[in-house]
Amino acid sequence: MDGFRELTIGEVARRAGVATSSIRCYERIGLLPQPERTHGQRRYGTEVLGKLGFIGVAQSAGFKLREIKELIDGVDSADGMGEQMRSLSSRKLEEVEALLERTKAMKGWLETAKQCGCASPTECALFPVPGEEAADADWSLRVVQVKGDDCRRPPAA
Amino acid sequence: MDGFRELTIGEVARRAGVATSSIRCYERIGLLPQPERTHGQRRYGTEVLGKLGFIGVAQSAGFKLREIKELIDGVDSADGMGEQMRSLSSRKLEEVEALLERTKAMKGWLETAKQCGCASPTECALFPVPGEEAADADWSLRVVQVKGDDCRRPPAA
DNA sequence: ATCGCCCTTGAACTGCGCTTCAAGTCAAGG
DNA sequence: CCTTGACTTGAAGCGCAGTTCAAGGGCGAT
């Protein structure tokens, strides 16, 4: 059913929803294996679609291609989906959880900004001004503190 | 209090927590105005710290520097923080919400992968294989469907 | 006056993830 | 036969967000 390996790069690109140039690029950097060839042209089996799908998901979650390569290599080479896979996933999970938090913070900021009625950044809590001593102001955390739909800066008490 | 404009670029960099090279870069692309100078050296007032803070926040909210420039130009010139701000935020909000979904999907995937006992990707539902007709397979949604701690692929019924 | 330190410049470089290009091969269809 | 269309290659280019570098200026302190 899928041992035919008869898909051309163009067909793979169409079905996976990526550009042929991306596929060749992935091959170049070792993300995809060298496929078999007919008349010099790449021939793929359908399993490459799964791999491309995985690459897409991982990418959209913020993995770099190098990291995706690590993941794929771990799965392909080691003892099945062994320790390598699990430890990589554990490590990545922490990063993804951090990304999740940051993304939630951004969402909050944008929701406030969407309905902000402030006349200028000077009066708006979305745009804080650091104190004299603030050497390492943590802007992203300050922004998270903006809640509700009133983003006016509290009158500096 | 802040009309002195006596901060050097190094001091601004330290207090805002960015590199001097970034500040010059922002100036180059019009994100920051040309500051006054003494002996050829840039001299800033403290209000630049607010601007840099804003740039940082907006960046972490997913805005590109070009978009941030749009925002700043809009705030500085037009009717306060007007329509431009709100429409850009609305647009960005959609993007961030999509990112949020993808990140959640990846988190689910990684959590499953962390405790996956499958011997090979072939038997594992974490690596789906698309059907013959799937021209626009929605991988991110498929991955979300992997729930619980058993990631074995259901025997193709 | 010499040292150390901070500042200046433009150009080039980095890393990432592709995309585009020129020049060529091959098989099928009219 | 000739065209069409999909494929091949390596190299170069792009957009982004900076960083690094060489070569030099100026100032306060010792």
- Chain C bases having any atom below 7 Å from a protein CB: 6-9, 16-21, 25-27
Q: Is strand D within 7 Å of residue B95 (CB)?
A: no
Does A157 score more than 80 pLDDT? no
User: From residue B134, how far is each of A16, A62, B152 by CA, in Å?
Assistant: 8, 25, 22
Residues 17-76 of B with CB under 7 A from strand C: 20, 24, 37, 40-42
Q: Does B144 touch chain A (CB under 8 A)?
A: no
Q: Is strand D within 7 Å of residue A14 (CB)?
A: no
Largest CA distance in chain B: 79
B103:A62 CB<8 A: yes
Residue A44 is given by DSSP the state: B
Nearest residue in A to B95, CA atom: A107
**Amino acid (1-letter code) at residue B8:** T
Query: CA B72, CA B57: separation in Å to the nearest integer?
Result: 13
- What are the structure tokens assigned to B72, written together? 């700043």
Q: Is strand D within 7 Å of residue A22 (CB)?
A: no
More confident residue, A113 or B157: A113
Query: CA A87, CA B21: separation in Å to the nearest integer?
Result: 37
* pLDDT tier at A146, thresholds 50, 70, 90: low
* pLDDT tier at A9, thresholds 50, 70, 90: very high
Query: CA A126, CA A103: separation in Å to the nearest integer?
Result: 16
Q: Which residues of A touch B56 (CB under 8 A)?
A: 139-140
Q: How many helices (H) and strands (E) does chain B have?
A: 6, 2
* pLDDT tier at B143, thresholds 50, 70, 90: low
Q: Which residues of B touch A96 (CB under 8 A)?
A: 103, 106-107, 110
Q: What is the mean pLDDT of chain B?
A: 79
The pLDDT > 70 percentage for chain A reads 73
More confident residue, A134 or B75: B75
Question: Phi and psi for B6 in degrees, rounded to 5?
Answer: -115, 5
Neighbour tally for A103: CB within 10 Å? 23
Q: Does A149 touch chain B (CB under 8 A)?
A: no
Burial class (CB in 10 A: 0-12, 13-18, 19+), A48: buried
Q: Which residues of A touch B116 (CB under 8 A)?
A: 81, 85-86
Over residues B111-122, the mean pLDDT reads 76
Instruction: Please tell me whether the overall predicted TM-score, pTM, comes out greater than 0.85 for this model.
Output: no
The pLDDT > 90 percentage for chain B reads 31
* pLDDT tier at B66, thresholds 50, 70, 90: very high
Query: CA A9, CA A22: separation in Å to the nearest integer?
Result: 10
Predicted pLDDT of residue A132: 47
- Is the distance from CB of A102 to CB of A123 less than 8 angstroms? no
Q: Does A81 touch chain B (CB under 8 A)?
A: yes
A113:B85 CB<8 A: yes
Ranked by mean pLDDT, the top range of A23-37, A71-85, B107-121 is A23-37
- Is the distance from CB of B99 to CB of A102 less than 8 angstroms? no
Q: Does B91 touch chain A (CB under 8 A)?
A: no
By C-alpha distance, which of B127, B22, B48, B57 is closest to A141?
Answer: B57
More confident residue, B144 or B9: B9
Query: CA B54, CA A48: separation in Å to the nearest integer?
Result: 44
- What are the structure tokens assigned to A55, written together? 């690459």
More confident residue, B28 or B124: B28
Does A4 score more than 60 pLDDT? yes
Compute, in degrees rounded to 10, the torsion defined by CA atoms A156, A157, B5, B6: -140
Q: Which residues of B touch A116 (CB under 8 A)?
A: 81, 85-86
A19-77 tens-digit pLDDT: 999 999 999 999 999 999 999 999 999 889 989 988 988 887 778 899 899 888 877 66
B67-91 tens-digit pLDDT: 999 888 877 665 656 677 788 888 8
